[in-house]
Amino acid sequence: MKTLGFLLQKEFRQIVRDRIILVMIFAMPTIQLIIMPMAANFEVKDIRIVVVDNDHSSMTARMFSKIGASGYFHIVGYASSYQQALSYVEQEEADVVLEIPAHFERNLVREGRQQVALSIDAINGARASIGGAYLTNIINDFSQSTALDVVRDAHPVTANTPVIQMNYSIWYNAREEYKYYMVPGIFVLLLTLIGGFLSALNVVKEKEIGTMEQINVTPIRKWEFIAGKLIPFWLIGMIIFTIGLLVAYIIYGIVSVGSIGLLYLFAAVYLIALLGFGLLVSTYSANQVQAMFLAFFFMMIFALMSGLFTAIESMPTWARTISSLIPVTHFVKVVRMVMLKGSTFQDVHMEFIYEIIFAVVLNTWAVINYRKTS
């Protein structure tokens, strides 16, 4: 234990002395957490529409104004033909073409039904399907009210056709704001990046400058060395976690609904797992470039498969299996659940067990794979 004291003293001295890294450690997550959630926004807004109106009736005028008033769309142009409208899409000036057939209003009143054509640029699939669905909704809504008008005009007495009406009640993120979903996610990602890279590179740096060999020739115990590296970075990680919670509160007004203590408990265990991963990477790398690539390889998987940006539920089974083997997945889930839903330990105890297993496995592996004698 006495040796560990000397190791920690040395690590803290080195961390404090490396001013640039020290500033980066704390400034980077703060700045990125302020910037990125604003940009990482998957809300579908401002869909640009070109209309081909072959009818020019009062009804189509009402339809367009309803579409424009929805807030999701704005009409960027009126084309005289479908071909002309398509050229807007080809030049990236519009996302959707809405074509209204000739005699639309007259035929609708006469026959009770009419078709309109929607052509959607589907390069961004999510945007296309969500945008298409919005527009379909608006047109359906419009046609329903118009149909009722038509029916009412024709048979003023029997105008109460049965209609199913749906009412929504939105929970956990009442204003349906994307940032509530993204801020906890990005904040976990930043913690993961900093913790993972710092621990992976730090030990490899000792290999590069030759001090590792000097350490290996001393009677230091393996666990002492690993603990001497883990503890300082764990503390840094906890400070970053605190900064993240503060930024979420100050900038985004996000206050954890659930227990802050529970969040810290998870962060504490998660960081041990994550740092164990970093140390493991360092035991497999001979220099900082190797460590960087190896860590980067996993960090990409962590970022894209942990359910940070995409729903795990919509992944194929094999991807879901990989996802469940990533410590980040469980931590992101818990942070969202606790912060936004107010989940209690009972709700997330399985995730806690997972994190403990990750922490034990990764660190044990790192200690075993760290060899003082080769």
Interacting residues toward another protein by CB under 8 A: 2-3, 5-7, 9-10, 13-14, 17-18, 209-211, 213-220, 372-374
Q: How far is the CB of 351 from another protein (least distance, A)?
A: 38
Q: Which residue number, 92 or 213, has a Cβ lying nearer to another protein?
A: 213
Q: Are 238 and 272 in contact (CB under 8 A)?
A: no
Q: Which residue number, 18 or 176, has a Cβ lying nearer to another protein?
A: 18
Q: How far is the CB of 9 from another protein (least distance, A)?
A: 7
Q: Which residue number, 5 or 112, has a Cβ lying nearer to another protein?
A: 5
Angle at 338 between CA 357 and CA 24, to 5 degrees: 75
DSSP for 127-153, written as a single string: HHHHHHHHHHHHHHHHHHHHHHHHHHH
What does the alpha-carbon distance between residue 28 and residue 190 come to, in Å, rounded to a whole number? 8
User: 113: left (phi > 0), else alpha (psi -120 to 50), else beta?
Assistant: beta
Place of tokens 């669905």: 133
CA dihedral of residues 302, 306, 308, 313 (deg, nearest 10): 160
Q: Which residue number, 18 or 153, has a Cβ lying nearer to another protein?
A: 18
Q: Which residues of 224-263 are buried (b: 16+ CB within 10 A; e: fewer)?
A: bbbbbbbbbbbebbeebbebbbebbeeebebebebeeebb
Q: Are 299 and 200 in contact (CB under 8 A)?
A: no
Q: Which residue number, 71 or 210, has a Cβ lying nearer to another protein?
A: 210
Q: How far is the CB of 374 from another protein (least distance, A)?
A: 6
Q: Are 270 and 187 in contact (CB under 8 A)?
A: no
Main-chain phi, psi angles of 297, to 5 degrees: -55, -50
Q: How far is the CB of 245 from another protein (least distance, A)?
A: 32
What does the alpha-carbon distance between residue 269 and residue 352 come to, in Å, rounded to a whole number? 8
Q: Which residue number, 6 or 42, has a Cβ lying nearer to another protein?
A: 6
Q: How far is the CB of 370 from another protein (least distance, A)?
A: 13
Q: Which residue number, 137 or 211, has a Cβ lying nearer to another protein?
A: 211
What does the alpha-carbon distance between residue 225 and residue 210 come to, in Å, rounded to a whole number? 15
Q: How far is the CB of 217 from another protein (least distance, A)?
A: 4
Q: How far is the CB of 282 from another protein (least distance, A)?
A: 17
The one-letter amino acid code at 244 reads G
Compute the half-sphere exposure of residue 141: CA atoms within 13 Å on the CB side of its CA.
14
Q: Which residue number, 212 or 337, has a Cβ lying nearer to another protein?
A: 212
Q: How far is the CB of 4 from another protein (least distance, A)?
A: 10
Q: How far is the CB of 210 from another protein (least distance, A)?
A: 3
Angle at 9 between CA 7 and CA 14, to 5 degrees: 95
Main-chain phi, psi angles of 347, to 5 degrees: -70, -30
Q: Which residue number, 60 or 283, has a Cβ lying nearer to another protein?
A: 283
